[in-house]
Amino acid sequence: MAALLFMVFFGLIALGVPIAAAMGLGLISTSIFGDTVSLAFIGRGMVSALDSFPVLAVPIFIFTGEVMAKGGISRRLFNFANACVGGFTGGVPMATVLTCMLFGAISGSGSATFAAVGTIMIPIMTKQGYDRRFITALTAAAGGLGVLIPPSLPMVMYGVSAGTSIGDMFMAGVFPGVLCGVGLMIYAYIFSKIHPVPVDDAQEPRMGILKSLLDGFWALLCPVIILGGIYGGIFTATEAAGVAALYGILVSKFIYRTLKFGELPGILLRSARLNAPILLIVAVATVFGRMLTIQNIPTQLAQAVLGFTGNKILILIFINLLLLVAGMFMEALAAIVILTPILLPIAIGIGLAPVHFGVIMVANLAIGFVTPPVGTNLYAASGITGIPIKDIVHAAVGPIIALMVCLLVIVIIPELSVWLPTLLKG
């Protein structure tokens, strides 16, 4: 039955069937041709997967990202980032990466981060003379940092799937997220040194750091409220999502005055369109993972891998290669829900902390935002700029290498992930 499940799933994926449909049809075929589970079990499992308080954080954070994007938050974040690093060689691309990091600390979504920042910054950098393929690929890769820097939707799903504290996962992503952002900024600096562009500050004048900080203070305060509230014991991660959504509405409406209440129905509709496919994938993938557990696949696979070799380095290479390939073909949330029950026992078997493994998983899948054929940010980037996807993929090689170097550091230095959660727990 497990073989049938995987044959149907991968066969349909190869035919271009959407992931949720491929998983669902695989489950239905297993139910019809075997006696493992019933169709009623599949239906109940999908409902119970979404009837979860932690999962509720996913649609709320997506709504928060839409509110912040509509409220002009991303522009104020860029002004602050540009004031900090805009004076360096390649300063505007570096500021774009920093803006993606800051916006990711609000939205928790890689696609939302790229959409909010890319639509503003790519035209600006094009006007200044930067190579369009370079800035498009760099911004698409930086958008993926939204899933690594807390709050993060994939980390919410990993916490649910692995039974790990979501607050710990958020804290574990801070230093790895900053590391990956710095890696992309270094790449932008080197590229701009090799391909210099005379930037005219009159085209995009820089504010002073203090002025930009005051202008964007209320936007920059949002991540502090979210993470401070979670670790201060004031609210849970899901409640933090609700607080962030309300905060974004109030700031955009009454402080920045960039949002009208009449625009909220449109924002809700866009959020619903983004949420529907994501939550469908989560529902089906949860039942898919339960099916694998019933078939005892995770335990058998862990025993097989650990029995084949006890070499930690080889196993880590195997896990990371599998995750990189999964990120090329699967949406991040689906990959987490499916692969966490399979790979976590192996990771624990070689001594990895669940929190550290979660960060490794999310960091791998963040690269998937700019790797074909699924790379969601690639298609969004092509839609914004009109550049063919193959040209963006070619330009994304540099950012991908930078992210993979950072991934290597994250894998071999577990303290980057576990130190902060351990410190905050005392």
Tens digits of residue pLDDT in 342-385? 889 889 988 999 999 999 999 998 898 888 776 778 877 887 78
Dihedral over alpha carbons 244, 248, 251, 256 (to 10 degrees):
150
Q: How confident is the model at residue 202 (pLDDT cuts 50, 70, 90)?
A: very low
Q: CA–CA separation, 164 vs 160, rounded Å?
A: 7
Q: Which of 356, 395, 358 is nearest to 375 (CA)?
A: 395
Q: CA–CA separation, 78 vs 161, rounded Å?
A: 35
Q: How confident is the model at residue 133 (pLDDT cuts 50, 70, 90)?
A: very high
∠ Cα 249 251 256 (to 5°): 120
- 152 within 8 A of 101, measured Cβ to Cβ: no
Q: How far is CA 405 from CA 9, 142, 181, 217, 420, in A?
A: 32, 15, 12, 33, 22
Give the SS3 label for residue 90: coil
- 259 within 8 A of 71, measured Cβ to Cβ: yes
- 217 within 8 A of 184, measured Cβ to Cβ: no
pTM metric for this prediction: 0.83
pLDDT at 205 over 70: no
pLDDT at 177 over 60: yes
pLDDT at 204 over 60: no
Tens digits of residue pLDDT in 20-48? 888 888 888 888 887 677 888 888 988 98
Q: Which of 291, 283, 352 is nearest to 323 (CA)?
A: 352
Tens digits of residue pLDDT in 301-347? 777 777 777 788 888 988 898 888 888 877 788 888 888 888 898 89
Widest Cα–Cα separation across the chain: 70
pLDDT of residue 199: 63
Beta-carbon contacts of 163 under 8 Å, excluding residues fewer than 6 positions away, are none
pLDDT of residue 426: 66
